[in-house]
A and B are shown apart, each in its own frame.
Chain A
Amino acid sequence: MSSKTLKIALAGNPNSGKTTLFNALTGLKQKVGNYPGITVEKKTGKAILSEKVLAEIIDLPGTYSLFPKSMDEQVAQQTLCNNDNEDYPDVTVVIADATNLRRSIFLLTQIIDLNMEVVLALNMVDIATKKGILVNVDLLSEELGIQVVAINARKRKGIESLKEAIVNAIDEKPKKLFLDVSRIFKGVIEKVNEIRGVENNYASFLALCKQKLSGEVINRCALNQLCKKHEIIPERAQAKETVKRYKAIDKIILSTVKKGVPVGRYQLTKWVDDLLIHPILGYVVFLSILFLLFQAVFSWSAYPMELIDGLFTDLSIWTANAMPKGMLNDLVVNGILAGLGGIVIFVPQIAFLFAFIAFLEDTGYMARVSFITDKLLRGVGLNGRSIIPLLSGAACAVPAIMSARTISSWKERLITIMVTPLMSCSARLPVYTLIIAMIIPADDFLGFNLQGLVLMVFYLIGFVSAIGIAYLMKFIIKSKERSYYIMEMPSYKIPDWKTVIYAIIEKVKVFLFDAGKIIIAVSIVLWFLSSFAPGKKFEQIEQQWAGKVDAEMHIAADKLEASYAGIIGKTIEPAIKPLGFDWKIGISLITSFAAREVFVGTMSTIYSVGGDNIQSIQERLKNVKNQDTGEAFFTPAVGISLMLFYAFAMQCMSTLAIVYRETKHWKWPAIQFLYMGVLAYFSSFIAYQILS
């Protein structure tokens, strides 16, 4: 017996429980990709509908109608309106929130009018009943002329009946049109059908309203003439049709929905909102939650990170001993394994951050956060939701940039992505601590530890520059999309743990597989640069030190100097001299590209300290003399200049890789690399020239 794979599309409003239903139908058999050429995420999954029927389910972006206003909504519309689209569904499932039936079935009635096979999954009927909203499901099904199934996606109820209904809906067109547009615009729609050469009234109406139907070259000229002749203004026609459609919906609601008596805690949302949207307490609660989130990403993930670090160290040592000595051994251990370790180390931070975000989204709190911060952040080109990426950027920019996805305006999301790496991430901390301890005395200043104060100033510099650059970009980045803030404030819900766990798994997968590839490639290049030298330099160095005291340490230092990385360091020395840096720091700047904290290790190798203990490096560095003056090399001027450079420069390939992944264009990471580089260079230059 042959089984066939159906294509099922899942459509519905945002917050209707679409993702939860998608998880319930597919389990972990999910794939996250992108639609070609755009940054909209494409989620698909496999489900078994019956013994013989397998289905590929595509989770369309949430939308309120087939008149798209954003890139996300456009994807949903184009998938449904064009039967040549590769994702065009055999059956569409529209999920609607029973507590809000009027608005949720608007999209459904449009899909019915496209004459598509469609099933309505009516979510949260039980909650609606508690709220006193009684829906007559059978009557609704009869009125709409399609199958209606009551489900509860969170409790995984009604899923089997829904699967059955989907199978029954194959090749079953709706029994009747919901609203016949050809009767509203008499004599026009038929003409559009003729022009398009397709017999579908509603699709023709959409074409008339200037909607782009993908894969179809529309004779715009003929349509314009038609509009002129019948005095139709497309925008007005669309508004007129929407109002008529709602009138028809209201009629159905009147007969199928009865108002009963609310039972239970219907007032809960209002109480909680009194606290969470309070002009003072609202911000206090929000800051406390942020503090907890920051703690989680910063400190709680330190333990699993140490564990991962330890595992990779052990694995490296084991591999180094198990494999025959030679170049391949070195490549595997110092190139591939080091790169792999550098990727996996981010997993705990990503997991913690997204656990929090999924939790806040799922409870309905994120909508409140936007509500109270929108005005404050919009002034600088950001969005209420930018606050989460910005502040988690203080732990690590990689998960922070991924979390910018909750921002629906592309321009505001892009600005958030572009400025988040300016926040002082945890990888800058070892660099700051090393330098501060060298150049700042451990004195008290107004009762505070001076070193701590300087560290705080550098965190502030990061935050202030992020806000400032965002403000500039607001004027530079052009956007065709109009920035809207029209949002439903969902009622509070107890989070669905499965949704939270799925969100974590999804984000970790995206990071490991999408950004991971780029990071491994760059690691190998960096390994090559620091492990090879032109000609026979390395052999000469080995012979020169053979049998001498501390030979290994000196060989490592000299080899790094002779390597391609060393050559680059010396080549850029004239460029970085005005900042107070020499070629040794130059090499560290290059190797830091793997991750900023590599600075410490490189400095230790190049000054042949042996080991990467911070205290011993500090001692060693303090004694380094300036070759021109004979004074200490690490003056406060050099130290401040170096810290400023690390504060601003984009020295993190993982961040660049994730920016590429999120923007789907090399242009943005390139611009980011350049503007941050320019900022770093000039601020270091100015600081050094003034201080020295």
Chain B
Amino acid sequence: MKILADLSIGAKGEMLDISDNLLEQKLLEMGCTPGEQFEVVRKAPFGGPIAILISSYVLSIRKEDAMSIEVKLLENE
């Protein structure tokens, strides 16, 4: 198990659980459901937001929020 905020650009993973309730609701309805695969595509400079490619669109999230997102790292690529 990993934390989304810790992944580097190019890392691929699978959504697991979101510990923050409000954040979970918002992300779930935007398609970040458990098991959904994603790829980290961008990180803004100075510890700004990070962007992931998920369900064929790019989603940006603040790094602080990405701290509460648990993911599974997919190693096979």
Contacts and interface: CB of A to CB of B under 8 A. Distances in A.
Given A133-B56, A372-B48, A486 B26 contact: yes
Interface stretch (A43-51, A61-69, A521-529): A61-69
A374 interface: yes
Interface string B8-48: 00000000000001111111111101100000001011111
Given A100-B55, A277-B42, A485 B61 contact: yes
A194 interface: no
A623 to B, nearest CB: 55
A99 B25 contact: no
Contact of B61 (A106, A235, A242, A486): A486
Contacts of A69: 22, 25-26
Given A64-B29, A100-B55, A371-B51, A487 B60 contact: yes
Contacts of A277: 42, 44
A489 B60 contact: yes
Nearest to A372: B44
A561 B60 CA distance: 61
Contacts of A484: 23, 26, 65
Contacts of A539: none
Contacts of B2: none
A239 B28 contact: yes
B62 A485 contact: yes
A100 B42 contact: no
A103 B48 contact: no
Contact of A489 (B51, B62, B65): B51
Interface string A266-304: 000000010001010010000000000000000000000
A488 B59 contact: yes
A246 B62 contact: no
A375 interface: yes
A100 B57 contact: yes
A102 B34 contact: no
Contacts, number: 101
A376 interface: yes
Classify chain A: how many residues form its interface, as a range: 35 or more
Contacts of A26: none
Classify chain B: how many residues form its interface, as a range: 20 to 34
Given A103-B55, A372-B45, A374-B49, A243 B33 contact: yes
Contacts of A106: 29, 31
A287 to B, nearest CB: 14
Interface in A232-271: 235, 238-239, 242-243, 246-247
Contacts of B58: 488-489, 491
A482 interface: yes
A246 B33 CA distance: 8
A304 B61 CA distance: 42
A553 to B, nearest CB: 60
Contacts of A246: 28, 31, 33
Contact of A371 (B28, B34, B49, B57): B49
A235 B44 CA distance: 32
Nearest to A15: B57
Interface string A61-86: 00011010100000000000000000
B45 A282 contact: yes
B31 A485 contact: no
Nearest to A69: B26
Nearest to B62: A485
Interface string B53-73: 001111111110100000000
Interface of B: 21-31, 33-34, 42, 44-49, 51, 55-63, 65
11 contacts: A65-B29, A99-B56, A133-B56, A242-B25, A279-B45, A371-B42, A375-B46, A486-B23, A486-B65, A487-B60, A489-B58
Interface of A: 64-65, 67, 69, 99-100, 102-103, 106, 133, 235, 238-239, 242-243, 246-247, 273, 277, 279, 282, 367, 371-376, 482, 484-489, 491
Give 5 closest A-B pairs by Cβ, nearest first: A375-B48, A279-B45, A65-B29, A489-B58, A103-B31
Given A277-B44, A486-B62, A489-B60, 5 more contacts: A246-B31, A277-B42, A371-B60, A485-B61, A486-B60
